Amino acid sequence: MTQLSESLYLLYHELRPRRSDYSYVVETAAFEKQCDLFLKLRSRKEPGLFPEVTFDDGHVSNLEFALPILHSRGIQAWFFITVGWTGQRPHYMDWQQLRTLHEAGQQIGAHGWTHTLLTHCSPAELQKELAEARLTLEDKLGTSITTMSLPGGRANSRVIQACRDAGYTQIFTSAPKREPRPAGAMIGRLNVRGDMTLEWFEQLFEPKSSVLSSLGRQHQMKTAAKALLGDSLYEKLWGLVNRQETETSMGDATAREDSAHHQ
């Protein structure tokens, strides 16, 4: 078996048993098929990318639907938790549910306190979003928390330094790109959308595929658009394009997430 030397981290949010037009909802049956593909890819003999699974926000479907699928296949994923929503917001895990997820062998990281874009935060706000979020997770779960997922993928040098000062050794972004194994301090991810088919995933992981490089170029163009339009206008346009649900259980979180559409 060839040792895969690079990884591709995939970013999920919410699973549902039935299909949804909302872009950040993945159908449970589709996620099962994707995980089966990931197992196959991890064991292949030819060189290629090693698929890694991550979830943002802490939606209760991560425990109800994702965990059984992952556990039955022996896949360990990262779950990044919006700490201020835990046990407070409908459709998100409470602390006992999060402990169950952690005790099942899954990895827990922080995703801020309120899901506020960190580039908009004052020093005091960054303290709560970063340091207080980490310390609260550590206190509630009884484990060390050293990973942080940036809400909306937004960061600048001030935010990155604040993450390091708060005790995080790895920072997860939403820039789709290859990562070395083991990963470094900054880790990019590819946002998974509900309209990404299994055939598309197979093409993505082909050794000579140009899909990931194309997604990287799209991400650069979106980054330029954010700088030109500003976050507020960009979020409104994103909500229209991605059929954002006005009363979805994802709510404010997905309004700020950075999509990586393959079309």
Residues 137-166 pLDDT 10s? 999 999 999 999 999 999 999 999 999 999
Longest Cα separation, the chain: 50
Does any domain span residue 38? Answer: yes
Q: Which of 108, 101, 9 is nearest to 53 (CA)?
A: 9
- pLDDT at position 259 is 36
Q: Does residue 105 lie in a domain region?
A: yes
The residue to which tokens 């037009």 are assigned: 21
Copy the structure tokens of residue 102. Answer: 């952690």
What is the 8-class DSSP label of residue 65?
Answer: I
Q: What is the pLDDT of residues 38-55, one digit of tens each?
A: 999 999 988 889 999 999
Residue 1 lies in a domain: no
Q: Which domain holds residue 208?
A: 6-255
Give the torsion sign (CA, 111, 98, 260, 248).
negative
What is the SS3 assignment for 131? helix
- pLDDT attached to residue 223: 75
What CATH number is attached to the domain comprising 216?
A: 3.20.20.370
- Whether 261 is in a domain gets the answer no
Give the chain's domain count.
1
Q: Is the pLDDT of residue 66 over 50?
A: yes
Residue 183 lies in a domain: yes
In sign, the C-alpha dihedral spanning 211, 216, 222, 225 is negative
Residue 253 contacts residue 57 (beta carbons within 8 Å): yes
Q: Report yes or no: 259 and 193 within 8 Å, Cβ to Cβ.
A: yes
Quick check: 63 and 99 in contact, CB under 8 A? no
4 C-beta neighbours (distance < 10 Å), count: 18
262 is a domain residue: no
CA nearest to 57, candidates 112, 118, 137: 112
pLDDT at 221: 81
Question: How does residue 2 score in pLDDT terms, banded at 50, 70 and 90?
Answer: low
In a domain, 209, yes or no: yes
| Residue 129 near residue 121, CB atoms below 8 Å | yes
pLDDT of residue 236: 60
Indicate the residue type of 56.
D
Output 37 or 232, whichever has higher pLDDT.
37
Is residue 232 assigned to a domain? yes
103, burial (CB in 10 Å: exposed 0-12, middle 13-18, buried 19+): exposed
pLDDT for the residue 218: 87
Determine the pLDDT at residue 4.
72
pTM comes to 0.87
Token pair in block for residue 166: 């708060």
Task: Please tell me the least confidently modeled range out of 12-16, 29-33, 176-180, 241-245.
Answer: 241-245
**Torsion angle (degrees, nearest 10) of CA 47, 220, 79, 157:** 120
Rounded Cα distance between 187 and 202, Å, is 22
